[in-house]
Structure 1
Amino acid sequence: MRRSTARRNGGVSHWFATTEVPGRRPPLPGDRSADVCVVGGGFTGLWAAYYLKRARPELDVVVLEREFAGFGASGRNGGWLSSEFSASRAQIARDHGLETVRALQRTAEESVDEVIAVCRQERIEADVVKSGILHVARGAAQLDRLRRAHEANRALGLDADVVELDAAETERRLRVAGADGALANPHAARVQPARLVRGLAAAVERLGVPIYEGTAVTEVRPGRACSDRGTVTAPHVLICLEGFTASLRGHRRDWVPLNSAIVATEPLPDDVWEQIGWSGCELLGDNAHAYMYAQRTADGRIAFGGRGVPYRFGSRTDVAGRTQQATIDQLTALLHAFFPATASAAIDHAWCGVLGVPRDWTPAVRLDRATGIGMAGGYVGSGVATANLAGRTLRDLVLGQESELTALPWVGHRSRRWEPEPLRFLGAHLVYSLYRAADRRELGGSTRTSRLASIATRLAGR
């Protein structure tokens, strides 16, 4: 594989590198009390604080963040504000009924529009364009899988707005080499995630919520969050750490911090865009097992992401987004396979981050009324809009309000814990090795899903 040099590697993300970021906020000045303590300054925690304070201005809400607001996945993701929800719709239908599945889809779609509405209301400039998602199929196996999934969702009365495109219709929207078809889902928008999370943090502060940065919470107990800067005592403590949940004492095996990486090209010239044909701002994904995701940025780049090294031993995370050279090479090669016209384009920036993955791959929102400890996360990579839904749900749970949101099936859900090391490490790498091998076989001419992928899915517990 040809070595692909990135002009910049790490530094959190390209999104932050191109966003004016003020100096860090001061840390927690010592012990204090509050009504609600939010642990984590990403989307989930900030949305929870935002909606709690909007609903009850008199509440004393504080946010504690180890680095700075948006340092984690909230400021590093692919900018997919989508209605996608990682849980199995078929499983939810079996366990809770069709109406529950439909309610979940409706609230997920509403979350996309809710984020856009708050951006408008709070004057958050985040390059938001609601143009939907194209999920392309490259090869007969991906096309078969795409159609089967679409038919299954239609049988459940879902995805009425999702349109299947043939190869010619796909090419008119976007020229992906080897694309045999696509699904077009209108319920999604492109965003610049760092601008969105920084704008949301500023909106939270305007409501009177202090955000204490540089404050590492090491343990959460009933009624208190213990940090290296002091202890916050509060009747409600909300854990909103997603892929960094393992950093809390006693939570190392709750969620695996699965790694994902992105490369961003230099701004592409007009003749390259003419060859690609990406005239809109649709988000782009594929139907591979080790799937990719991409967007056309506001300044004319392609941000192209996927799995790199999937997991680090002991649930460790990256250092400020720096990723491995092998990952940069793999993503760049896949970018060129999708869009041959980008072969001469420089890679301006590469970075990575972690997302939270429960053992059953199902996100959750919970509040233990006996201890006052709440949590939300485990979005498995579909967190930009889902975090907004989680924030509104946490608001209702904390305030003791029964609502359509608190009746959703992910509320109160508990997954079993991940295996101890080294089983966790070996299992994660085996699963993604099988997925990549399955993708190679399918692109080599298989017409149906590879048995290797089926084995990987059973091992993963999805």
Structure 2
Amino acid sequence: MTQPLWSEATEQEGSYAASSAHGPSSASGPLTSSTTSSPDPLPPRADVVIVGAGFTGLWTAHYLLAADPSLDVVLLEARHAGFGASGRNGGWVSALWPVGPDTLARRSGRAAAEAMLAELRHTVDEVGRATESAGIDCGFRKGGTLGLARSQAQATRAHAEVAHAQEWGIDTSWLDAGEATERLAADGVLGATYNPHCARVHPRRLVDGLAAEVRRQGARIMEGFRVEAIEPGSALLADGRTIAARHVIRATEGFTPVLAGHRRTVAPVYSLMVATEPLPSGLWDQIGLAQRETFADHRHVIIYGQRTVDDRLAFGGRGAPYHFGSRVSPEFDHDATVFADLRATLRDLLPQIEGVAFTHAWGGPLGIARDWHPSVGHDPATGLGWAGGYVGDGVAASNLAGRTLADLVLGRHTAITDLPWVGHRSRRWEPEPARWVGINAGLRLAHAADREESRTGRPARIGRLLEALTGH
């Protein structure tokens, strides 16, 4: 098993040397290492307890303490800060949102939908501003994002996306084949969509830097403290201890189903990644990504990639199965078949890398709400707050969640507390086995749709069935 690029790893297996460290250039310990408890004793109470020390929890603590340094903020983390999706993701700080503006407008009105889109664009820049202000060297580079069209079916969807974006002022444009290839010399490109509101980061460096900043601000990050249940006024640990607080925030994303009463709140779906060895400058001259654009294409099964801070290709995608009962386990982080498919897909996209070694492979769960709608909220009567269900778009969304939760906890009515995702309640996922059948059927349909389009060259007829099943 190769080690995760985004964690510090010092082990070798076979020909793959894990040379990355909380960034690809230094080392300390693999993501999957066992976690020791914090040397600090669990305090009996705090002003704010945040369950989960990933991006959502850390940004929330950061903005709370920036507004009121006197607050006693405690983050409880079962493993180590950034252990979940925050330390393992594809590093896209994007204005992408899993729910379309039309859906937002139907629920909350056009003005609210437009405000949401505008704030997402602003959030990309806010992540850059905040990391620069804190001196976090995470490789933030706002080069935009490319969505390649490599078949007529994909081009049809891409043109429809551009037309829809123009209706909403989303700034997505169409690049012809020459313009697209100039940015990324992928094979068989007919064109691409391009949106400027996306930055590349090294997520492990970002989460580690943010954790250090939050500690500097005075928060206590208690690692190795697994929470079993959240109640108004307290968090109950697995060992029976409790910590009391006026405000208790759930920031657990893909690990939410392990909390009592939250088995069906979100579905933990696994996304896996691979990465190459660092590529020489001459090869990058052939490939492109000179502005550090992130990239994907318009197939049904999601893929995503970036040029890393040390000039690797990091590339990921969905494809791993959902596990019965919303189980999460370290063994699910690795799937040899999916890793092989990802390597083959990247070589198909970029034949220039034939012969290049893949040195890292990793994965982890992300959270999906039943209606694919992220949400953030806080009940002033109980003090309970939450954020999540980002469907893989959480690097930027978690920053917006942190700013929003800080305002809500502090009782401040601001423009972002009026956004349409605030207070949204998704219905619960179906009980098993319906949940297992439905989610994995959707994955199979997505693969089948891509195979149909590869065979026919036309948009897949089963695409409409896939949309009906996923509900978006």
Contact 1:222 1:373 in 2 (8 A): yes
Please state how far the C-alpha of 1:8 moved relative to its aligned partner.
Answer: 3.9
| Residue correspondence of structure 1 range 367-382 to structure 2 within 5 A | 367-382=378-393
Q: Out of 276, 284, 290, which is 1:273 matched to?
A: 284
Percent sequence identity over matched residues? 45
The CA deviation string for residues 324-370 of structure 1, in whole angstroms up to 9 with x for no partner, is 11011110110111011112111101000111100000000011222
Contact 2:37 2:225 in 1 (8 A): no
CA distance in 2, matches of 1:84, 1:70: 22
Contact 2:270 2:333 in 1 (8 A): no
| Residue correspondence of structure 1 range 339-378 to structure 2 within 5 A | 339-378=350-389
Contact 1:261 1:323 in 2 (8 A): yes
Please state how far the C-alpha of 1:77 moved relative to its aligned partner.
Answer: 0.2
Partner of 1:219: 229
**One-letter amino acid of the counterpart of residue 74, structure 1:** S
Partner of 1:128: 140
2:313 is the alignment partner of 1:302: yes
Please state how far the C-alpha of 1:461 moved relative to its aligned partner.
Answer: 2.1
2:416 is paired with a residue whose SS is coil
Please state how far the C-alpha of 1:213 moved relative to its aligned partner.
Answer: 0.2
Q: Out of 164, 187, 199, which is 1:152 matched to?
A: 164
TM-score by length of 2: 0.92
2:412 is the alignment partner of 1:412: no
Partner of 2:401: 390
The CA deviation string for residues 70-105 of structure 1, in whole angstroms up to 9 with x for no partner, is 000000000101111211211112222222122111
Partner of 1:458: 468
Partner of 2:175: 165
Higher RCO structure, 1 or 2 (CA under 8 Å, sep 6+): 1
CA distance in 2, matches of 1:121, 1:277: 30
TM-score by length of 1: 0.94
Q: Out of 89, 114, 117, which is 2:129 matched to?
A: 117
Deviates more, 1:20-29 or 1:307-316: 20-29
**One-letter amino acid of the counterpart of residue 206, structure 2:** L
**One-letter amino acid of the counterpart of residue 330, structure 1:** D
Please state how far the C-alpha of 1:275 moved relative to its aligned partner.
Answer: 2.8
Please state how far the C-alpha of 1:20 moved relative to its aligned partner.
Answer: 4.4
CA distance in 1, matches of 2:49, 2:161: 41
| Residue correspondence of structure 1 range 26-425 to structure 2 within 5 A | 26=38, 29-156=41-168, 158-159=169-170, 161-228=171-238, 230-319=241-330, 322-425=333-436
Contact 2:319 2:443 in 1 (8 A): no
Please state how far the C-alpha of 1:381 moved relative to its aligned partner.
Answer: 0.5
CA distance in 2, matches of 1:11, 1:282: 19
CA distance in 2, matches of 1:375, 1:28: 25
CA distance in 2, matches of 1:130, 1:88: 23
The CA deviation string for residues 115-159 of structure 1, in whole angstroms up to 9 with x for no partner, is 111111110010111111111112111111111122122123x21
Partner of 1:3: none
For these two proteins, the number of residue pairs brought into alignment is 454
Q: Out of 420, 432, 442, which is 2:453 matched to?
A: 442
**Structure 2 unaligned blocks of 5 or more:** 9-19, 30-34
The CA deviation string for residues 257-291 of structure 1, in whole angstroms up to 9 with x for no partner, is 01100000111233432332332310001111112
Partner of 2:17: none
Contact 1:136 1:183 in 2 (8 A): yes
Cα separation, partners in 2 of 1:15 and 1:376, compared to 1, 3 Å: farther
Partner of 2:12: none
Please state how far the C-alpha of 1:210 moved relative to its aligned partner.
Answer: 0.5
**One-letter amino acid of the counterpart of residue 125, structure 2:** D
CA distance in 2, matches of 1:455, 1:192: 36
1:116 is paired with a residue whose SS is helix
Please state how far the C-alpha of 1:12 moved relative to its aligned partner.
Answer: 5.9
**One-letter amino acid of the counterpart of residue 140, structure 2:** V
CA distance in 2, matches of 1:321, 1:17: 23
**One-letter amino acid of the counterpart of residue 300, structure 2:** H
Contact 1:34 1:233 in 2 (8 A): yes
